Structure 1
């Protein structure tokens, strides 16, 4: 019975554990997955969650529902000591403890990369997890409700100003979807006009969407500008204190909603708290067969994949290239990991990871998208249909595929759901407010008059007879 520890339940970790359950018999291995969240987030759906096109729960896949033979540990791995075959786990409650293992699979993923820019930590929201996408959506809906009661002026403008920092795929898709939602909301708010909206996309480089070639990237910029967006290329964020945006170009404006999508960074557990070999950027050094180590030296019983692993890209013509950290690679690496680990346990042959890109596709709002593959570029509605078709097939489990498809079909008939649930972030407010109202009422109600003495009442009663 081999003890297999999977560090992280994201794409690569989920598919590794799922594949191992299918390939290994119950007596061959004991599989454990450690993750602070009880679900795998399907991140390509987060922009549509923010836009209200998909239910938040449908962008998450429950680990307990689908990993039936895997032990799930709700916690965070804070250290990996492979020399001792032990990992330290910090649970939400209680003291940290150690988990021993025979084989470790490092699929901890990446974390949101931030910089020491004043105000970012206090004001910005990321877009890497479901709860962040929900918060962005509810924040915009709440801003519309508040702005609709205000006269035209600085405060209304601030509430309806949105700033995205980062022009990669997650930033552009989230920005375009939220712009699409805001434009559609105007039909329900006759007090507001299109000119009241102010959407800013800030990118430090001179172009957005580095995954596509120059001309499609330029088309996306023109397309967004035609829809009323303001694209700031070659601009760095200098400050966001109190929601006041200051750019390196000299431009300044106030924003109520600030979303940070300026890239991912190495997971600190992998970068700083392990004796496994890592690159200068903090990623695990991995061979083409996903075993940890170099071509000349293997680290026994250690495997890695996904965003926290520097996996050689054998499909690239560039020498020394590594795979791009995206879902397309993480899913396929997880599947191969399961096959290779099962093969190594049984003394079989492991295979190298080789995957030729299927192209890139992005949503730019309801009915709008872009697709590129080997020089073929498709824009607009057909690309949007391809985006939805690809991702509804790519999300794991038929249960999730059906749920997402049904939500999309419902939205076509009845439109987006524009109910804000911002109050769920503070569920005790109504309860506490009710208690305060009752306490205040008790102190303000005038005292009742004292009853008359019994003798006087009896006398009055006798006289009335």
Structure 2
């Protein structure tokens, strides 16, 4: 570490890992020991487990994000995109808002840029599909689904009405199941205000595996599948999306139909910015780390989260790595902050080890599944456990209070089910007025 000056710690990524690491470092660094800089294109962290509830109107979208500058007052926050790392020169390359390129030196580097949606080259997917990983996508999807109801209620064309009311979700993991279940629950509640029969909306799930939700046991996955089927969901397992041109859906099992909504939640992949670094990557494009979270062959560089291949010391499988879950991200951030402090103070680093505690999922109001170690819960209790766990995990007391207030207001009052479509293109009305 540099003598006579504070070390510079640069954290790439302001997501759950980056935010928690920065907060812990700032809290435990000695005066003058180090300066912390967080680099992220967004000025906030999104708590992704609440995205489905934000999309369904159970939680105000602004309450599921945490402003970085608000919670990191002692750190420098740069709203920029990290495009490369030259560890040999200890430099990070940044692209700032106007496209200008800058170079930022570091003594200790923390790499946690998160992941992006994993897609495959399906015809029509890029033109008609949307992901479900960011706050913007959640807000868009909420407005889009409600706007389909508005449009369907305003036409007498049966074919158009059928297409508008067909919603397709590709991917049966937690993200896809929670998003689809919450939005269907919201839609069912909204139908009392529309001249639409409850049986008209068509919800279709497409999953390439022979089961859904691999994060939970097979019996809980089967319970979830039966619950969704009872609610009218159309499930296609062992099936892939082969085409979505003109929003005409073609599945691998030969099923074809038109749809008004296509949501892609079929996995994630490491942030592509890692390809512009000289850090060691595995065959999936993740940064290779030791169990201490220090990057292999790169002293002073640490990595964690979705874009890091962290050895899973609790697994019996040779070469196993930790899965990209919020549970691991939060705990890796804690261990990484402690190891960064240890490296600054020439103290020994400790290995990251965590036994998976289980998973919780919401399937709409008062419905859910949970698996905590060997305990398996379903129904309202599991739904309550989901909300309780994530409320406790949500950073800052202020955000916890706002989310709890949203839930409290939803008890005597129904969800707000208005579509503000102008949010999708707010300048459209002004442009039309200017051209007249």
Normalised by the length of structure 1, the TM-score is 0.91
- SS of 2:382 mapped into structure 1: helix
Unaligned runs of 5+ in 1: 440-465
1:124 to 125, 129, 141: 129
Per-residue CA deviation, residues 7-41 of structure 1 (Å, 9 max, x unaligned), is 11111111111111101134111111111111111
Q: Does the Cα contact within 8 Å between 2:165 and 2:259 map onto a contact in 1? A: yes
Distance 1:26 1:68, change over 3 A: farther
The answer to whether 1:229 aligns with 2:233 is yes
Report how far residue 138 of structure 1 moved.
0.2
Higher mean displacement: 2-11 or 315-324 = 315-324
1:287 to 286, 290, 310: 290
The answer to whether 1:15 aligns with 2:20 is yes
2:120 paired residue number: 115
Q: d(CA) in 2 for partners of 1:374 and 1:3?
A: 40
1:277 paired residue number: 280
Normalised by the length of structure 2, the TM-score is 0.97
The answer to whether 1:267 aligns with 2:271 is yes
Q: d(CA) in 1 for partners of 2:20 and 2:348?
A: 20
Q: d(CA) in 2 for partners of 1:356 and 1:421?
A: 44
- SS of 1:299 mapped into structure 2: coil
1:373 paired residue number: 372
Q: d(CA) in 2 for partners of 1:390 and 1:213?
A: 19
Q: d(CA) in 1 for partners of 2:11 and 2:323?
A: 21
| CA RMSD across the alignment | 1.2
Per-residue CA deviation, residues 389-433 of structure 1 (Å, 9 max, x unaligned), is 001001111111000000010011111111212202222223334
Report how far residue 51 of structure 1 moved.
0.7
Q: d(CA) in 2 for partners of 1:89 and 1:177?
A: 38
1:210 to 182, 207, 214: 214
Structure of higher CA gyration radius: 1
Higher mean displacement: 369-378 or 153-162 = 369-378
Q: d(CA) in 2 for partners of 1:419 and 1:62?
A: 26
Distance 1:326 1:413, change over 3 A: same
Q: d(CA) in 2 for partners of 1:91 and 1:237?
A: 37
Q: d(CA) in 2 for partners of 1:64 and 1:300?
A: 29
Higher mean displacement: 324-333 or 426-435 = 426-435
- SS of 1:384 mapped into structure 2: helix
1:447 paired residue number: none
Q: d(CA) in 2 for partners of 1:307 and 1:392?
A: 22
1:457 paired residue number: none
Report how far residue 193 of structure 1 moved.
0.4
Higher mean displacement: 425-434 or 83-92 = 425-434
Report how far residue 219 of structure 1 moved.
1.2
Per-residue CA deviation, residues 343-398 of structure 1 (Å, 9 max, x unaligned), is 21122232211112221110011110001133321111110000000010011111
1:183 paired residue number: 188
2:256 paired residue number: 252
Q: d(CA) in 2 for partners of 1:223 and 1:128?
A: 25
The answer to whether 1:352 aligns with 2:355 is no
1:459 paired residue number: none
2:47 to 42, 45, 51: 42
2:388 paired residue number: 389
- SS of 2:73 mapped into structure 1: coil
Within a 5 Å distance, the mapping from 1:147-186 to structure 2 comes to 147-151=152-156, 153-186=158-191
For these two proteins, the number of residue pairs brought into alignment is 431
Report how far residue 96 of structure 1 moved.
1.2
Unaligned runs of 5+ in 2: 1-5
